[in-house]
Amino acid sequence: MSENEKAAAPAMDAETLDFIRGVFTIVRAGEAERLAALVARGLPVNFRNEKGDSLIMLASYHGHLDTARVLLEAGADPNVPNDQGQTPLAGVAYKGYLEIAELLLAHGANIEGASPDGKTPLMMAAMFNRTDILNLLIERGAIVDAVDSRGMTAISLAQTMGAKDTAALLTARNP
């Protein structure tokens, strides 16, 4: 948002801000039923907080499968990056939430959605030794030999990070 857009945007009253903060708290806590009730009453599902984290980013990153499902089924965009350029799929690859990775992919998450430094979800899974997610991403067609902005591949990143299991899996695929 440009400075002119920020200046033109109306200020929110305290009650509205409290409500929005409460929604983010519900999502971080994984309160899927409470969230579903709000969504049923028309809550927009693509809210973002001051760090650019969307509701689906927070639900995914905190490992709340049912909360993520509520959001995605209501139309949340699984590809919206936060202000650091991280996507929900990259977040779950880092954290190791296989079921949420499957859910995000089923709802159109970009398997190659790279952060500004070029790291893909596959690279994140490799770096943090997330073998199940690494295998899922490979099965779904992730590019194994993609390079980040420093010219590093998933294999070299896994080796650098000491992620022995994912490094071995990737090396066995590309001897």
User: Model pTM?
Assistant: 0.90
State pLDDT tens for residues 131-159.
Answer: 999 999 999 999 999 999 999 999 999 99
- Is the pLDDT reported for residue 5 higher than 90? no
Q: Are residues 19 and 105 in the same domain?
A: yes
Q: Are residues 101 and 139 in the same domain?
A: no
Nearest to 140 by CA among 94, 75, 93, 83: 93
Q: Are residues 98 and 42 in the same domain?
A: yes
Which two tokens mark 129? 């030794």
Of residues 11 and 54, more confidently modeled: 54
Q: Are residues 137 and 102 in the same domain?
A: no
pLDDT at 14: 86
Q: Are residues 68 and 128 in the same domain?
A: no
Which two tokens mark 168? 């071995």
- Range of the structural domain that residue 137 is part of: 111-175
What CATH code is carried by the domain that includes residue 38?
1.25.40.20
Number of domains in the chain: 2
